């Protein structure tokens, strides 16, 4: 229970309205919620935890923390081709958190739930002597048996990503006060990319039936491709010069303040990584906002090749699978 | 990522075996899991968060922390009449947590998952500079439309509880080194009641069709009955002398080291609180391990009456709904 505040009153006032429109949430007045089952659809679920100082900065705006929390989970669902419909929230708020902060958090939550047309269907709020610690469990629907899994990649598939790669990790550096020589528009863009992931829900849904495998990029392109390759029992080669970079990322690269290897292994992209047979290329290009960046191969491990064909050595913290 | 340890290796080694037997968990190798949908059954879900120093003691055995985490969630499902089938785990482990501690935690988790015949179907593991912070999302099946809700109580219903009340809060005092004059068997019993809730899954399932409303008692009998009354738009009276107490609780009461009011408002009981029409009394008594403790009434609020009929005044932290 929050100091000087009644947990139940807080939940009723700030969170209960977020359950509106979803009868199975029981108005957040029970201990449980009912999941919406629909004929022909699988229910997929995922959970992500975030800790202040690790996954976001404690000084980040409360509403943006709430939005990031929701979006990292929706990004996981999007990568499977699933349409999100509900979330559960478990929140450990630091003792002494202000009502103003909580209201801003709830407003950010409300705005995102509305934007993505999903409901808060339950949760648990506790107090902690430690940092703000949050977890969201998200639920989505996808055509039965057709979700894009990590394990579906096949040798010969083309490797694709959505959006641009490396902006999230540069945005964190902006948030930390670095990269001050960039122009303000580029700094703002990178910061936004770090704070507000855009889950590629529409794209993911359209990839069902076209792509063989999919996941979102949260830990870094190379690491996450490594996970996908292991789950699928394949290898992959990234052609570095085909990896889409934003103008801002190119500017930082030119200034010598980052390396291509850093961009390919930095976290917080929240773009989709997927593989598809070569014959799907036309249909996939037509979706827009996607780039082929390499190929899935027989074998294991991830290689990154420069334009001339030379392998770019990449070593990132703790990860040494190639 | 845990210091000096690869998150993915840790998950693979300790947690992946806990997904065995549940294909929709994808071996914990994907970001999502699929929920098992069955004809004629609702899927109910609940989430509970626990923080070291708040919901358990940091020095509690790791395996028992894991077990309590699972059981407080299963207790919520049991109270609805639902049979649990799966859980998701979000864990923020303190940096520097030992491999031995993690192994003991995973062993406790494994033992309980096996005991309750449920699978770990996904999760997220992160590091924190703060206290151990855990949340579990649990899933259960219940006959469609027949779950026991908080909102189902009707004036005239009999009020029932399972087991004995107040042992959990006394067990916490034993854990804190108090109540040293109790005999060692009673101390062990109370400690066990605090550390290892017994979710009343079988009882809950049998109450479907008999009871009108149900919830588990986690915050204290009086407070939780207050929540149930508000959700149902009714009032209730507890007849204090009918509330079942363990021999150990009676001994502490006799010694003057607790009050009946403390036992009726102490947390961590994890027994079921339910209401049923008087005509169901015979069938409910036949289930065993349950006691009628009062009546649901027209009106609002909770009253506690002593044997002579006098109202026992009860005030507990922050809660003032009667």
pLDDT digits (tens, 9 = 90+) for B294-307: 999 999 999 999 88
Instruction: Give the Cα separation of B93 and B112 in Å (integer).
Output: 20
Distance of CA A101 to the CA centre of its chain: 24
CA torsion sign, A101 to A107 to A111 to A117? positive
- What is the pLDDT averaged over residues A25-34? 94
pLDDT tier at A317, thresholds 50, 70, 90: very low
Question: Tokens standing for B135?
Answer: 């949340």
- What is the pLDDT averaged over residues B186-204? 96
- What is the pLDDT averaged over residues B25-34? 94
ipTM over 0.85: yes
Under a CB-based contact definition with an 8 Å cutoff, are residues B86 and B117 in contact? no
Q: Which residues of A touch B121 (CB under 8 A)?
A: 45
Q: Mean pLDDT across chain B, nearest whole number?
A: 92
Question: Tokens standing for A89?
Answer: 């929230």
Under a CB-based contact definition with an 8 Å cutoff, are residues A85 and A139 in contact? yes
- Burial class of residue B96 (count of CB atoms within 10 Å of its CB; 0-12, 13-18, 19+): exposed
Q: In what order do the strands lie in the sheet with B213-217?
A: B213-217, B271-276, B158-162, B290-297, B235-239, B301-305
CA dihedral (A49, A92, A8, B167) in degrees, to 10, reads: 110
- pLDDT at residue B319 greater than cutoff 50: no
B246: how many CB neighbours lie within 10 A of its CB? 19
- pLDDT at B271 (0 to 100): 98
pLDDT tier at B315, thresholds 50, 70, 90: low
Please identify among residues 47-86 of chain A the ones whose CB lies closer than 8 Å to any CB of chain B. Answer: 47-51, 53-55, 76-77, 79-80, 82
Report the relative pairing of strands A133-143 and A83-94 from DSSP bridges: antiparallel
Q: Which of A12-21, A235-244, B32-41 has the lowest mean pLDDT?
A: A12-21
Reported in sequence order, the residue ranges of B95-156 that DSSP labels E, i.e. its strands, are 119-128, 133-143
- pLDDT at B58 (0 to 100): 86
A139: how many CB neighbours lie within 10 A of its CB? 27
- pLDDT at residue A321 greater than cutoff 80: no
Contact status of A300 with chain B (Cβ, < 8 Å): no
- pLDDT at residue B317 greater than cutoff 80: no
- pLDDT at residue A195 greater than cutoff 50: yes
- pLDDT at A13 (0 to 100): 86
- What is the pLDDT averaged over residues B269-298? 98
Q: What is the per-residue burial (b if ≥16 Cβ within 10 Å, else e) of A140-162?
A: bbbeeeebbbbbbbeeebbbbbb
Distance of CA B131 to the CA centre of its chain: 22
What's the angle, vertex CA A72, arms to CA A6 and CA B71, rounded to 5? 50
Axis-axis angle for helices A62-79, A184-195 (nearest 10): 70
Report the relative pairing of strands A290-297 and A235-239 from DSSP bridges: antiparallel
A40: how many CB neighbours lie within 10 A of its CB? 8
- Domains observed in chain A: 7-143 (3.30.1330.10), 150-305 (3.90.650.10)
- What is the pLDDT averaged over residues B3-32? 81
DSSP B279: G
Contact status of A195 with chain B (Cβ, < 8 Å): no
Q: What is the per-residue burial (b if ≥16 Cβ within 10 Å, else e) of B106-128?
A: bebbbebbeebebbbbbbbbbbb
- What is the pLDDT averaged over residues B274-303? 97
Closest CA to B208 of B134, B287, B262: B287
pLDDT tier at A11, thresholds 50, 70, 90: low
- What is the pLDDT averaged over residues A15-34? 94
- pLDDT at residue A57 greater than cutoff 60: yes
Q: Which residues of A touch B91 (CB under 8 A)?
A: 49
Q: What is the pLDDT of residues A227-279, one digit of tens each?
A: 999 999 999 999 999 999 999 999 999 999 999 999 999 989 999 999 999 99
- pLDDT at B290 (0 to 100): 98
Nearest CA-CA distance, residue A216 and chain B, Å: 9
The residues that bridge with B158 in the sheet, in sequence order, are B276, B295
- pLDDT at residue A4 greater than cutoff 70: no
Q: What is the pLDDT of residues B56-108, one digit of tens each?
A: 888 889 999 999 999 999 999 999 999 999 999 999 999 888 889 999 999 99
Please identify among residues 126-185 of chain A the ones whose CB lies closer than 8 Å to any CB of chain B. Answer: 126-131, 133, 135, 137, 147, 149-151
pLDDT tier at A99, thresholds 50, 70, 90: confident
Please identify among residues 253-272 of chain B the ones whose CB lies closer than 8 Å to any CB of chain A. Answer: none
Instruction: Give the Cα separation of B198 and B201 in Å (integer).
Output: 9
- pLDDT at residue A318 greater than cutoff 50: no
Q: What is the pLDDT of residues B110-148, one digit of tens each?
A: 999 999 999 999 999 998 999 999 999 999 999 999 999
Contact status of A31 with chain B (Cβ, < 8 Å): yes
- pLDDT at B50 (0 to 100): 95
pLDDT > 70: what percent of chain B? 95
Distance of CA B273 to the CA centre of its chain: 11
Under a CB-based contact definition with an 8 Å cutoff, are residues A240 and A312 in contact? yes
Q: What is the pLDDT of residues A174-183, one digit of tens each?
A: 999 999 999 9
**A92·B51 Cβ contact <8 A:** yes
Q: What is the helix (H) or strand (E) element at residue B75, kind and residue range?
A: helix B62-79
- pLDDT at residue A90 greater than cutoff 70: yes
B201: how many CB neighbours lie within 10 A of its CB? 21
pLDDT tier at A9, thresholds 50, 70, 90: confident
Residue B34 CB partners (closer than 8 Å, separation 6+): A42, A43, A44, A45, A147, B23, B24, B26
Residue in the block written with tokens 């790669």: A165
- What is the pLDDT averaged over residues A101-118? 95
Instruction: Give the Cα separation of B48 and B133 in Å (integer).
Output: 11
- pLDDT at B36 (0 to 100): 97
- pLDDT at A233 (0 to 100): 97
Contact status of B196 with chain A (Cβ, < 8 Å): no
Please identify among residues 228-257 of chain B the ones whose CB lies closer than 8 Å to any CB of chain A. Answer: 230-231
Instruction: Give the Cα separation of A41 and B34 in Å (integer).
Output: 11
Nearest to B47 among A53, A82, A122 (CB): A122
pLDDT tier at A6, thresholds 50, 70, 90: low
Q: Which residues of A touch B50 (CB under 8 A)?
A: 126
Under a CB-based contact definition with an 8 Å cutoff, are residues A48 and A89 in contact? no
Nearest CA-CA distance, residue B200 and chain A, Å: 15
Instruction: Give the Cα separation of A189 and A191 in Å (integer).
Output: 6
């Amino acid at each position: 229970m929050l100091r000087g505040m009644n947990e139940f009153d807080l939940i009723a006032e700030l969170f209960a309205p977020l359950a509106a429109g979803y009868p199975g949430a029981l108005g957040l007045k029970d201990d449980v919620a009912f999941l919406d089952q629909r004929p022909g659809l699988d229910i997929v679920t995922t959970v992500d935890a975030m800790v202040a100082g690790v996954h976001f900065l404690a000084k980040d705006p409360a509403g943006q923390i709430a939005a990031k929390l929701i979006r990292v989970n929706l990004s996981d669902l999007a990568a499977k081709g699933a349409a999100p419909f509900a979330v559960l929230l478990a929140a450990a708020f630091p003792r002494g958190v202000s009502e103003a902060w909580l209201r801003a958090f709830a407003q950010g939550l409300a705005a995102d739930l509305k934007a993505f047309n999903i409901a808060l269907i339950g949760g648990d709020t506790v107090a902690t002597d430690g940092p703000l610690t949050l977890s969201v469990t998200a639920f989505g629907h996808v055509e039965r048996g057709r979700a894009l899994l990590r394990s579906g990649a096949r040798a010969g598939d083309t490797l694709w990503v959505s959006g641009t790669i490396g902006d999230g990790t540069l945005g964190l550096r902006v948030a930390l006060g670095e990269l001050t020589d960039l122009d303000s528009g580029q700094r703002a863009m990178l910061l936004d990319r770090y704070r507000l992931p855009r889950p590629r829900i529409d794209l993911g849904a359209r990839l069902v039936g076209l792509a063989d495998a999919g996941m979102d990029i949260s830990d870094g392109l190379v690491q996450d491709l490594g996970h996908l390759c292991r789950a699928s029992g394949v290898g992959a080669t990234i052609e570095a010069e085909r990896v889409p970079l934003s103008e801002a990322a190119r500017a930082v690269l030119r200034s010598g303040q980052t390396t291509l290897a850093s961009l390919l292994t930095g976290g917080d992209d929240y773009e989709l990584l997927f593989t598809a047979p070569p014959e799907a290329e036309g249909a996939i290009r037509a979706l827009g906002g996607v780039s082929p960046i390499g190929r899935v191969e027989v074998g294991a491990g991830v290689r990154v090749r420069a334009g001339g064909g030379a392998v770019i050595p990449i070593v990132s913290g703790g990860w040494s699978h190639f």
